[in-house]
Amino acid sequence: MNLLMCPVCRESLKLTERTWRCGNHHSYDVAKQGYVNLHVVQHKHSKNPGDTPESVQARRAFLSGGFYAPLQQAVVSKIRQLRIENLLDIGCGEGYYTNAMQAEVLQCVGVDIAKNAIQVAAKLNKDVTWVVGTGATLPVMDHSIDLCTSLFSPIPEQEILRVLKSEGYLLVATPATEHLLAMREALFEEVNPHDSHKFVDQLAGNFDLVDAQVIDAPMCLEQQDLKNLIAMTPYAYKAKPERRLALEQEQQFELNAQFQIYVFKKKEST
C-alpha cells in the first residue's frame, strides 16, 4: 500500500517514475539523492529548520564508530519481536537507526524536518522511503502504520494516534538517568538527572506501556570522537564556550551512554 500523504490536501500519494502525485494533481519530485520533500512552505517556521549541517556531519561521524550500536541493536530486536509490516521513524536524522530498522519490516518511512539530514540519510539505504517533513503534519496516511519510532526526537502524540493502526505501537528511546553524566559534569556547573519517565505520564491517556528497558553503552573516546559527540548534542550550544574548549582538549575520555527504551501500545478506544 502507498503510505505517503499529500501535505496540502491530505490525499494519498502515488509514485509514478520519480514523482509522487495525489488525485488533486499536487506533485513532489524525488530528488537525485533519493528523497522527497513534503515539507511545504506553509508549514515552515524557518528557512532551514532542524539540525545544522555541522551537527548532522558530527552525528554521522560519531555513530559510524559504533558507539551507540547497543541502542541500535536493542531497537532492532524490539522491532523483530513485534513482527510488524509498516514502520514510520519520526525525526530519523541522518538515518543510522532507520537504516537498521528497514531490514525488519516490509515498508519503512524515515521523516525529518532537516533537509540536510535527509540528504545524508538517503545515501544509506534505497529501500527506505526518505521524506523531508514535519511532525506537526506527519506525511503518511491515516491508520496506515504498525509502529512509530521516535529516538531522541519529538513525540507528536495526536499525529501518531492518527497514523497508527488500531493495534499500533510507539517505540520511544530517550536519555536514561545517567546518560553522558561525565560529559555533562565537565560541561556544566549543575547537572540534573534526565527524567525519562515523563513520557510514560504524558502518553498514559492514549497508550499502554508494554515494555521498558535500560541500555548501557560504556565507551572510551579519542579526542575527535569526543568532539563529534559534543557537537551532535544540544550541550554544544548550551555549555559555556570555555568549558567546551577545555573538554575538547582531552586526548581520551571515559563515559557511559545510558538509554531508556519504552514500547507503548495504542489503546483500543483511541
Judged by phi (left if over 0) then psi (alpha if -120 to 50, else beta), residue 31 lies in: beta
CATH of domain 46-266: 3.40.50.150
Return the H-helix or E-strand segment holding 126.
none
Helix H segments across the chain? 53-63, 69-82, 96-101, 115-121, 157-163, 181-187, 198-203, 223-232, 235-238, 241-248
Task: Compute the residue count for the chain.
Answer: 270
Distance CA 20, CA 27 (A): 6
Q: Confirm or deny that 94 is annotated as ligand binding.
A: yes
Q: Domain spans of the chain?
A: 46-266
Q: Among all chains, which residue has been given the C-alpha cell 545517567?
A: 178
Q: Confirm or deny that 6 is annotated as ligand binding.
A: yes
pLDDT tens profile 1-59:
789 999 999 999 999 999 999 999 999 999 999 999 999 865 444 555 567 888 899 99
Q: How far is Cα of residue 77 from the mean position of the Cα atoms in its chain? A: 17
For residue 270, the model assigns a pLDDT of 61
For residue 269, the model assigns a pLDDT of 73
Q: Confirm or deny that 22 is annotated as ligand binding.
A: yes
For residue 44, the model assigns a pLDDT of 47
For residue 41, the model assigns a pLDDT of 65
Q: At what angle do helices 241-248 and 223-232 cross, to 10 degrees?
A: 150
Return the H-helix or E-strand segment holding 269.
none
pLDDT along the chain (270 residues), means of 10: 93 96 97 95 54 88 97 98 97 97 98 95 96 95 98 96 97 96 96 91 96 98 97 90 96 98 90
Distances (CA, A) of 196 to 90, 174, 177, 260: 18, 6, 7, 7
Q: What residues contact residue 231 under an 8 Å CB cut-off, 6+ apart?
A: 54, 55, 58
Q: Confirm or deny that 26 is annotated as ligand binding.
A: yes
